[in-house]
A = this chain, B = another copy of it.
Amino acid sequence: MPLIYPGDNLAEMLLASMQSARITLEDSDILVVTQKIVSKAEGRLVNLETVTPSKESLELANRSEKDPRLVELILRESNEVLRVRAGTIIVEHRLGFVCASAGIDHSNVHGTEGNSEYWVLLLPEDPDHSALEIRRKIKVATGNRIGVMIIDSHGRAWRQGTIGTAIGISGLPAVVDQRGWQDLFGYRLKITLVAAADELAAAASLVMGEAAEGIPAVHVRGFPYPLREGSLKELIRSKETDLFR
């Protein structure tokens, strides 16, 4: 894939990239795309020099030892701040999931002008919709009914290290109901929900790598569950059922 600039048509670029890799799309294939190129194409770059921190941001910047202008953006992109430590702000993103720094990224970000140190990249406005747009354009161009997923790298509670995680989904199940076991007395059927989209996100992330030379999109064939409409919402645990908020 070439470098991505605001306004780029990602669907076209993904198709061109697959063509040069001699990949022919088939129905039920899935394209997994990193958030970074979607955000760049959607012009979600912000120059920190244009940001004026609020009083709340200045206070939180002090507690977190982060740039107040970055903190201002984090707050604008969040529903709620969950935890703060030096170097760390964990929030509920306005899209509903929990992540660090509202998913705002400095790495591999080059702005359109000025010092690249001051540019940061926000998550797509509506990643489910971004995925749907790519899917629709590919349907028009090729006739193929595929799934499209947008992923980011998330930290976890309890465990070290980040893993690829779904943040936008169109045309594939986010979670899959599996018939579970009956309990000891045979009367209560347990349901196992498998987060199939997150498993695929982690798999794609492994292939993509994290470094500057990373691969921004992965073509998937043989996803083991039937494709259907799906959305990020399926993966968000409600506050009420979340024992670790």
Which residues from chain A sit less than 8 Å from chain B, CB to CB? 48, 67, 70, 82-83, 85, 88, 90, 97-98, 106-108, 117-118, 153, 156-165, 174-176, 178-181, 183-186, 192-196, 198-203, 205-207, 209-211, 223-224, 234-237, 242-245
**Other A-B pairs beyond A67-B183, A160-B175, A202-B203, 9, CB < 8 Å:** A83-B243, A157-B158, A157-B242, A160-B193, A161-B176, A163-B202, A196-B206, A206-B223, A207-B224
**In the bound complex, do residue A159 and residue B224 qualify as a contact, i.e. CB atoms below 8 Å apart?**
no
CA distance A98 to B156 in the complex (A): 11
**In the bound complex, do residue A184 and residue B90 qualify as a contact, i.e. CB atoms below 8 Å apart?**
no
**In the bound complex, do residue B210 and residue A161 qualify as a contact, i.e. CB atoms below 8 Å apart?**
no
Considering only CB atoms, which chain B residue lies closest to A96 in the complex? B158
CA distance A67 to B182 in the complex (A): 13
Interface SS, A side:
mixed
Residues A158 and B244 in contact in the complex (CB < 8 Å), given A107-B181, A153-B194, A163-B198: yes
Residues A48 and B205 in contact in the complex (CB < 8 Å), given A159-B198, A163-B195: no
**In the bound complex, do residue A198 and residue B202 qualify as a contact, i.e. CB atoms below 8 Å apart?**
yes
CA distance A184 to B181 in the complex (A): 52
CA distance A206 to B199 in the complex (A): 6
In this complex, the member of A175, A201, A203 whose beta carbon has the largest number of chain B beta carbons within 10 angstroms is A203
Contacts of A184 in B (CB 8 A): 48, 67, 70, 106, 117-118
